[in-house]
């Protein structure tokens, strides 16, 4: 009974959170390559079957199995070192599609943009610039293509990394 009450409370709070949260949207259309001082080992997976072949990815998706459904229209990209995923995120690849920003439950139309979402840096490697580095690598990979990334307004570290990697602030989104 207590578990049920906690789930109901969580749903209730999540519902109201959508009305008070603010989303900052950034965009980039990289014209020239960003300078990258170190050359980390990068991976990009766009097929669900490839995660079963690698123990590191198998372990990651064991705890986040629901994320494997994203492979229909997105690819998983990140930096890997010594059998650890240091920093990772997703790139939505579909053209002319609708994207739902879950934090505010609002749909936006994407024409030819690629949307970057759900980035995560392993706790052991935070505050070392890996998120910023990964964003620069993605910009180099998708030259002359519009890239969109968003974050909640109170995530100061993410905003700082996004801006310093070359993205420009575009707009603020709210539920209403």
Q: What is the pLDDT of residues 70-100, one digit of tens each?
A: 888 899 999 998 888 999 999 998 888 888 8
Domain boundaries, the chain: 2-173
Q: CA–CA separation, 92 vs 77, rounded Å?
A: 11
What is the predicted pLDDT for the residue at 132? 95
What is the predicted pLDDT for the residue at 114? 92
How does pLDDT run across 112-164, given as a tens digit for each residue?
899 999 999 999 999 999 999 999 999 999 998 999 999 999 999 999 999 99
Q: CA–CA separation, 58 vs 80, rounded Å?
A: 14
Torsion sign across C-alpha atoms 51, 58, 14, 123: negative
What is the predicted pLDDT for the residue at 5? 59
143 φ/ψ angles, rounded to the nearest 5 degrees: -60, 145
pLDDT for residue 30 is more than 90: no
Q: CA–CA separation, 89 vs 156, rounded Å?
A: 18
- Report the topology of domain 2-173: Aminopeptidase (3.40.630)
What is the predicted pLDDT for the residue at 1? 42
| Helix spans in the chain (H) | 2-20, 55-63, 130-141, 156-164
What is the predicted pLDDT for the residue at 129? 93
What is the predicted pLDDT for the residue at 10? 79
What is the predicted pLDDT for the residue at 59? 83
Q: Give the global pTM.
A: 0.87
């Amino acid at each position: 009974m207590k578990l049920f009450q906690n789930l109901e409370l969580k749903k209730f709070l999540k519902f109201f959170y959508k009305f008070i949260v603010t989303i900052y949207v950034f965009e980039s259309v990289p014209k020239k390559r960003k300078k990258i001082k170190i050359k980390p080992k990068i991976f990009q997976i766009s097929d669900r079957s490839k995660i079963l072949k690698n123990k590191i990815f198998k372990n990651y998706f064991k705890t986040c199995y629901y994320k494997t459904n994203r492979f229909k229209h997105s690819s998983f990209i990140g930096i890997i070192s010594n059998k650890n995923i240091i920093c990772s995120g997703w790139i939505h690849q579909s053209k002319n599609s609708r994207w739902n920003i879950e934090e505010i439950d609002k749909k936006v139309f994407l024409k030819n943009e690629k949307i970057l979402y759900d980035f995560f840096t392993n706790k052991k490697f935070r505050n070392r610039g890996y998120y910023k580095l990964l964003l620069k690598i993605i910009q180099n990979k998708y030259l002359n293509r519009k890239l969109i990334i968003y974050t909640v307004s109170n995530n100061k570290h993410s905003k700082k990394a996004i801006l310093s990697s070359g993205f420009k602030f575009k707009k603020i989104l709210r539920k209403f």
